[in-house]
A and B are shown apart, each in its own frame.
Chain A
């Protein structure tokens, strides 16, 4: 065995973990690694324009592929720029490994140039983190880091590596397996509890399935479908469950919660059994917890035991991997019929018309709804896409108004709600699925939070399609101001540059659209363009996302339309 530098060991370790692409930005304390990278052409490095984008790109890659995304930054400001993306990955259980350079071990603790306590800062927002000062530890730490990131409830792991540990040489000893005696995620689920769940499913008159990100992560799509079809139980998807159950399925109800459909929230309040698979009862889902699902027995499947009983009382907890648990459950689950209950929910739904009219007010204006109405048709005709949405009104419209049919097509920052997510996430998503069409759908505000990544797209030649829903406002905040702060638009009107000219400056074609009748042509042009393209939709400025549950209110108290809140 030959001796390698720590930096070479880092590269070897990445290859051993099957890494093909890394997103990063160099600097002093990570320079040995960047130097070694020259000898490893198999590791494609994507130079971002801000480390936050490296983190979100790693997330985009991970969210599309299910594999571990990797981002790299230097010490101090480089590392702190990763923090937002790391916390985003923590909230949404996204497997990423973040590698940061650290000052030479002899200088640690002395406030050396660009020294920051990165392991300290990221302690509460990582699944685990490491500070490596001894080159001999690198093989073990990398193996553990990737294992922890991708198994159990996935999440971000950070490895902070002192510069001298990157420079020193050693003969690496590659461990065969990981030895983490305190880390043994439960996968199978307790049989007794599973039987209890089967019993409750048999007894319920008004059962509901709610599926969350856990279904996505364990790829339990056929199992969920079999469960639904065998029992006729209607399926609600959380924001992160979107795509895990096709929305054109007769049992699909779509999203519930703060901007979910009225009939779904009502169904939750009426149901006598709520079977939550891989959702964590976020407050955007539950509204006021004390009034949530008051008549329901609750079955909760989650791989993280700490999620059970955290926000909502649970009658039958089942800890483990959704796919495994459902497989076992389906072995014994008898068929049943839930037709009357479904009919009842469909009747509640029929009070409102199709999705479009559901939320679009009658107005001649160019509404954001008009963009999504065309978009859902055109993307689904063409298929093979991933849509990365940003955070705000457009994110909710996209979730509501697009017909989501396939897993991993809807990529969004849910738990953290990080503006600026969409564009860099699209970069990662495109690397994760090079043959697909990747859309970044962002607001005028969020787009400008990582607008610099247009350069990354150009440098890498990525054919990403960008849709900016430009309403001239930090729209979601403006909506809250309109509804809950007497229309005092404090710091939400937003001037923006000419986005088409901005695109042009980056060498990217762009188009601005101000009329509903031009949307289809614009999207067709984007599809016909082989490279990237930016579309700016200049929509009605004060359109609102409805229905809506006011923060802290019960999910049955829905605001249906402008101007003043009307209770449903």
Chain B
């Protein structure tokens, strides 16, 4: 089963390397990893998608906690949460196909970020499943280039995974 794990960590040089190196060394299967700022200055927030049994995810969590700079780790898979991913896809679209591609993008709630000679760049932010669906639908047109950010996630309702507890952190 795929688990979505959210981790808060001090924004120090080398932290990402520590996390990545730990995953490699322990042989964990990471489907995606997205890291960036959080609401608290000095604290980064990482969202991981881990494939494995519950016991594996428990080990991943514990091993993350062993890293001194990791502050909090939660498996949010079973909590109601919003998961999003952003994709940029440059799709082959000569004039004759443009309309079709842009209405597909629109149907998914995406937009056209750039128009080229014979291509359209679609920008789409939605759930990872929807992104998969979208990609399958546009594949026949020809995808020239594509980048996905990896999943980011947040639990619904009153924040349960905020960095406030650590605001003293420099």
Contacts from A to B (Cβ < 8 Å): 119-120, 123-124, 127-128, 131, 148, 179-183, 304-306, 308-310
Residues of chain A with a CB closer than 8 A to B149's CB = none
Max chain A C-beta neighbours (<10 A), residue from B21, B66, B70: B66
Residues of chain B with a CB closer than 8 A to A183's CB = 68
Contact with A along B5-18 (1 / 0, CB 8 A): 00001100110011
With A124-B21, A306-B63 already in contact, the answer to whether A182 and B58 are too (CB < 8 A) is: no
Residues of chain A with a CB closer than 8 A to B169's CB = 179, 181
Task: Decide: B17 and A123 in contact? CB cutoff 8 A.
Answer: yes
Bound-state Cα–Cα, A567 to B158, Å: 62
> What is the size category of the interface that chain B forms with chain A?
20 to 34
- A-B contacts, 28 of them at CB < 8 A, read A120-B17, A123-B14, A123-B17, A123-B21, A124-B21, A124-B22, A128-B68, A148-B68, A179-B168, A179-B169, A179-B170, A180-B68, A181-B10, A181-B71, A181-B169, A182-B9, A182-B10, A182-B67, A182-B68, A182-B70, A182-B71, A183-B68, A304-B66, A305-B62, A305-B65, A306-B62, A309-B55, A309-B59
Residues of chain A with a CB closer than 8 A to B65's CB = 305-306
B1-43 CB contacts (< 8 Å) to partner A: 9-10, 13-14, 17-18, 21-22, 25
The answer, among B13, B58, B70, B170, for a CB contact under 8 Å with A309, is: B58
**Shortest CB distance A490–B (Å):** 30
User: B22's closest neighbor in chain A, by CB?
Assistant: A124
Residue B108, interface by CB 8 Å: no
Residue B75, interface by CB 8 Å: no
Bound-state Cα–Cα, A62 to B112, Å: 63
Task: Decide: B55 and A119 in contact? CB cutoff 8 A.
Answer: no
Residue B166, interface by CB 8 Å: yes
Residue B123, interface by CB 8 Å: no
Residue B51, interface by CB 8 Å: no
User: A155's closest neighbor in chain B, by CB?
Assistant: B66
Residues of chain A with a CB closer than 8 A to B25's CB = 124
B125-170 CB contacts (< 8 Å) to partner A: 166, 168-170
Bound-state Cα–Cα, A309 to B62, Å: 11
Residues of chain A with a CB closer than 8 A to B14's CB = 119, 123, 131
Residues of chain B with a CB closer than 8 A to A124's CB = 21-22, 25
Bound-state Cα–Cα, A310 to B27, Å: 13
Contact with A along B103-127 (1 / 0, CB 8 A): 0000000000000000000000000
User: A124's closest neighbor in chain B, by CB?
Assistant: B25
User: B15's closest neighbor in chain A, by CB?
Assistant: A182
Bound-state Cα–Cα, A422 to B18, Å: 32
**Shortest CB distance B43–A (Å):** 9
Residues of chain B with a CB closer than 8 A to A182's CB = 9-10, 67-71
Bound-state Cα–Cα, A128 to B170, Å: 19
Max chain B C-beta neighbours (<10 A), residue from A148, A181, A309: A181
Bound-state Cα–Cα, A149 to B71, Å: 19
Bound-state Cα–Cα, A309 to B59, Å: 8
Task: Decide: B68 and A123 in contact? CB cutoff 8 A.
Answer: no
Bound-state Cα–Cα, A181 to B72, Å: 10
User: B43's closest neighbor in chain A, by CB?
Assistant: A181
Residues of chain A with a CB closer than 8 A to B10's CB = 181-182
